[in-house]
């Protein structure tokens, strides 16, 4: 890996200043990012259901057909939209998300468990965790290890349809964490500073990609029958196998920030320096990049 003096020799003054400012920002972001992210085992959750608000990241139809008791539907399919520039899968504005979370009985300090099923949620459980972290959630955020598959394998109970339950309305006070996202203009201007990882399928990759990106499909970020996220050691081996410097700033992207958010979550859980999710994804890049 090149040190600062070697980098300085390779860059012009303007590029070097940009490099230094980005590195400093990256180092500070690792200190500033403070979301309490982790995993939770099905057996523990089953014994402490009342201590958590549970979000089901699968499509609402899947939630209706059978969900963890008390779980609320929070799927990316409902909370994204096509923006005014024609870019699909864009996350709702923070104020709108905060209002929805408040209606669901969630404030910024609420302990939250998120689960999906990998196949049908398309990494939506990672997206839920990313959205909460991006909003500056202060309470613990836990990913259910093994998702709904593991819950079913343990033969724990499920509920169908809408449950009758009293929800206390809250005001969700958000404070956006800008270091967890990156927009197209900044990614294009700084792409030489980041390692950019494309988490889409091989077919999507061959149809077009961000120049210089490294391809690692998002399905490589989990393993086993229950689709558990990779361990820290397994993730480091995966990245290093692709020649990636794990100490360099990383940006994950897919078509619209869903699958890449899952990769981002696995990265965050590993304890590596904070990464970013390019929420606009390739759909934003191909429409707005000036390359």
| Domains of the chain, earliest start first | 1-32 (no CATH), 37-153 (3.40.250.10), 178-288 (3.40.250.10)
pLDDT tens-digit profile, the chain (291 residues): 344 444 444 445 554 444 444 444 444 444 445 589 999 999 999 999 999 999 999 999 999 999 999 999 999 999 999 999 999 999 999 999 999 999 999 999 999 999 999 788 899 999 999 999 999 999 999 999 999 999 999 999 999 999 987 788 999 999 999 999 999 999 999 989 999 999 999 999 999 999 999 999 999 999 999 999 999 999 999 999 999 999 999 999 999 999 999 999 999 999 999 899 999 999 999 998 554
The end-to-end CA distance of the chain, in Å, is 28
3-state secondary structure of 237: helix
Q: Which two tokens stand for residue 197?
A: 């990882």
Residue 195 DSSP code: E
* Contact between 173 and 107 (Cβ < 8 Å): yes
Q: Which two tokens stand for residue 50?
A: 């009342």
pTM attached to this predicted model? 0.88
- Find the DSSP H helices in 48-169: 60-65, 94-103, 124-134, 147-153
3-state secondary structure of 123: coil
3-state secondary structure of 190: helix
CA-based R_g, the chain, Å: 19
């Amino acid at each position: 890996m090149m040190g600062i003096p070697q980098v300085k020799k390779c860059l012009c003054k303007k590029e070097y200043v940009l490099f230094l400012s980005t590195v400093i920002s990256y180092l500070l972001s690792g200190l500033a990012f403070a979301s309490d992210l982790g995993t939770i085992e099905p057996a523990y959750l089953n014994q402490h259901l009342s201590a958590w608000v549970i979000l089901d990241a699968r499509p609402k139809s899947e939630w209706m057909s059978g969900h963890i008791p008390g779980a609320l539907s929070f799927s990316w399919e409902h909370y994204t939209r096509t923006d005014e520039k024609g870019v699909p899968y864009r996350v709702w504005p923070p104020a709108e998300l905060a209002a929805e979370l408040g209606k669901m009985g969630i404030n910024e300090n609420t302990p939250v468990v998120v689960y999906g099923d990998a196949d049908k949620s398309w990494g939506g459980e990672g997206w839920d965790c990313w959205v909460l972290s991006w909003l500056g959630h202060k309470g613990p955020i836990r990913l259910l290890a093994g998702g709904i598959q593991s819950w079913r394998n343990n033969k724990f109970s499920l509920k169908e349809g809408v449950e009758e339950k009293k929800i206390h309305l809250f005001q969700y006070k958000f404070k956006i964490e800008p270091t967890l996202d990156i927009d197209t203009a900044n990614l294009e201007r700084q792409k030489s500073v980041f390692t950019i990882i494309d988490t889409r399928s091989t077919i999507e990759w061959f149809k077009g990609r961000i120049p210089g990106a490294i391809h690692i499909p998002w399905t490589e970020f989990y393993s086993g029958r229950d689709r558990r996220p990779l361990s820290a050691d397994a993730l480091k081996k995966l990245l290093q196998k692709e020649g990636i410097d794990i100490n360099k700033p990383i940006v994950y992207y897919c078509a619209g920030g869903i699958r890449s958010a899952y990769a981002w979550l696995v990265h965050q859980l590993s304890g590596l320096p904070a990464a970013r999710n390019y929420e606009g994804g390739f759909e934003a890049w191909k429409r707005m990049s000036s390359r």
